[in-house]
Amino acid sequence: MSRKKLSRWLAALAATLSLPANADASTLTGPFQAAVERSPEIQALLARMPEQAIKRDAAGALLPGGWSVSISSSSDTLTTQRGEREIDAEAAFPIWLPGERGATALAADQSLLALEADIAKRRLDIARIVRDAYWSVAEAREKLALAERRLGIARTLAADTRRRATAGQAAEVDAHIADAELSDAEAAVAARRSELNEAVIDFNGKTGRKPPPAFSERPMSQNPAHPSLRALSAAVAKAEAERHLVEVIDRDRPEFALTTKTDRGDRDEAYNTQLGARVKIPFAYEAVNAPKRAAADGSIIAARAELIAAERALKSDVDRARAKLDGARRQLSAIEKRHTQLTAAVVLIEKAQQAGQTSLGELIRARVQMFDAANARALARIAVERAQSEINQAQGIEP
């Protein structure tokens, strides 16, 4: 394969591998693809692919290795000085072992497929990282929005209470309590804003992009070619191909050589030239081959065991993700009821406080409870969205 052809092939392959696995692009697809392009692991895997492609092409070569030329010369210059001369030359050519071409091509093909499967698996690993980073941002956004809402109400309450205290319609202690609530709300906003900034920086560091304003995905059907299983299946096929290659290449390659010999007995004789051929036929040696076969068999057994374990683990991961989604939905339902109940209680306490039947401190405590419930409700909603996302992740579906 020429360098120009190889470059075009690699560019086309990289473009193909950068396409999303599912056709329904979401708002997280762009950052995900950006993270894939930035991944040094994927770049390293892509860089190894031309090697296997070249090995596959090499299996079609005329010779399995380079040929060699050897020349030797002898004379009686330092001994009898009769003018005796002899020059030997040989051109040796290695020969493919029976079945070596096919076994070499198969091993290269399986190595190439294994690299492609490893890239798909790494893409899924990156998908998990990007999803987790986004949900951290989403949680921080919700917390900040609720803190800012609490701050707005606290400012209104503090201003109103200070005005009433100045007019003699409220106690000075109520004004201080309202000011304290305002300070607490300001501190909460500062903390939540810092958390959001950190989450956004983390997302940008992983993807090179800003987090999308919104993202939601619904559980999709199981990916029939789960990247993790595909990678392990490819590893099994690769180990089997390498075992077959070990079986085929069980000795040194045969060698065919053309020889020529030119000599004379003394300086009065004419040179005599002879042409010939030589064939070298090596034999297998069990003491060398047995350890190689044992190592290859061990690789196959290990790869198959990992595949079986991964199949069981992935089924468990999907079941666990579905159970988590069910639990998150139940929790959200209960939290929404609590929030509704606390909201109704705050309305009643506000009326009672305005009528002088309860203290301002009681109203503030009730509002804090209501905001805590609102915060829990927002996080529970995100937990449901996140659980749905985790189901797709477990099923091998990219965002």
Rounded to 10 deg, the angle between the 227-248 and 100-166 helix axes is 160
| Nearest residue to 230 (alpha-carbon basis) of 111, 106, 121 | 121
Domain boundaries 3-394, corresponding CATH code:
1.20.1600.10
Q: Over 50: is that where the pLDDT of 242 sits?
A: yes
Predicted pLDDT of residue 270: 86
Q: Over 90: is that where the pLDDT of 36 sits?
A: yes
Average pLDDT, the chain: 87
Q: In what order do the strands lie in the sheet with 272-280?
A: 68-75, 85-94, 255-264, 272-280
Structure tokens given for 62: 């005329």
- Residue tagged 């065991």 (tokens): 305
Predicted pLDDT of residue 181: 83
- In tens, the pLDDT along 165-177 reads 887 777 788 788 8
| Nearest residue to 322 (alpha-carbon basis) of 389, 233, 239 | 389
| Nearest residue to 192 (alpha-carbon basis) of 116, 140, 243 | 140
Q: Name the β-bridge partners of 274.
A: 261
- In tens, the pLDDT along 102-161 reads 999 999 999 999 999 999 999 999 999 999 999 999 999 988 988 898 898 888 888 888
- In tens, the pLDDT along 52-89 reads 889 888 888 999 999 999 999 998 878 888 888 999 99
Spatial separation of the C-alpha atoms in residues 320 and 197, rounded to whole Å = 32
Predicted pLDDT of residue 303: 94
**Domain parsing of the chain, residue ranges:** 3-394
Task: DSSP letter for 22, please.
Answer: S
Residues 6+ apart with CB under 8 A from 38: 207, 208
- In tens, the pLDDT along 322-336 reads 999 999 999 989 988
Alpha helices in 208-285 (DSSP H): 227-248
Residue 26 identity: S
